[in-house]
Amino acid sequence: MWDVQAPAGRFAVKLGYRSQTHAWTALAPAREAAILRQLNASDEIHCGEWEEGTWSAQRWREGRSLFDLWEPHRRASGATAPSFAEVLSCVAALADLHAAGWVHGDVQPNHFVVGPTRTALIDLALAQGGKIPERYDFSYRGCLVHYEAPEISRSILETGTAVPTAPADVYALGASFFISATGWRHVPYPDDASREEQRQAIVDTPHRPITVPGPLGPLIEQMMSRNPSHRPPAPEIYRVLCEAS
């Protein structure tokens, strides 16, 4: 991805191409553009094809990633409570996406861009919820494993694909808050573990103890329940946090 300053303004420009492990990465920019056009009809979004895949250009989202923003909390080993406003803005961004009928499928700290007035949830190439042009669509084969819910990891190990869901997004948001505040992955596994080994650890191993202080800690515990039906939906998380603030 490039940060491009054009006469028409500042754009995030993405070039997709087949990676060593994934063919779908070549289609991801155009697939995301198709989703963004359904979610934000007024936004300026461009896409097309090139010799190795697809490309897209969208307006730049100003701000800092959640992971970068919470670096001081990691220096304190998670002993300091994150800002309520930052937590609420991330929850609101996910709740808005779910209310629009979409699930993200790749929730992670670097996909929350916390700006001066709002938080943007970016990188929607794996999202599900509407019609995608057949030539740009592909099967969902999971996301960055550090944030996968157990049921997603299990399905990918057993079948090679999975169905992203709102409860899986909520789990990933809890894991995102946890690692951003503490520096720890939600489930322990060696740094050099293969993706299959990482996913098996997520299936087999309870998450680490949640040590984040304040009301966010118990909420993360609920968000990362191994039973998807026990995870509170994003609007409920938002309500509980507002009442606790």
- What are the pLDDT digits (tens) for 164-219? 999 999 999 999 999 999 999 999 999 999 999 999 999 999 999 999 998 899 99
Full-model pTM:
0.95
Mean of pLDDT values over 22-31: 92
Work out the pLDDT band at 42, boundaries 50, 70, 90.
low
Residue 224, token pair as written in the block: 């990362």
Residue 18, token pair as written in the block: 């087949």
Please tell me the predicted confidence (pLDDT) of residue 4. Answer: 95
Please give the mean pLDDT across all residues of the chain.
Answer: 94
Helix/strand/coil for 152:
helix
Q: How many residues make up the chain in this entry?
A: 245
pLDDT tens-digit map of 68-127: 999 999 998 777 888 889 999 999 999 999 999 999 999 999 999 999 889 999 999 999
Work out the pLDDT band at 138, boundaries 50, 70, 90.
very high
Please tell me the predicted confidence (pLDDT) of residue 233. Answer: 98
Can you say how many angstroms the Cα of residue 172 is from the centroid of all Cα atoms in its chain? 7
pLDDT tens-digit map of 207-222: 999 999 988 999 999 9
Residue 111, token pair as written in the block: 């996909």
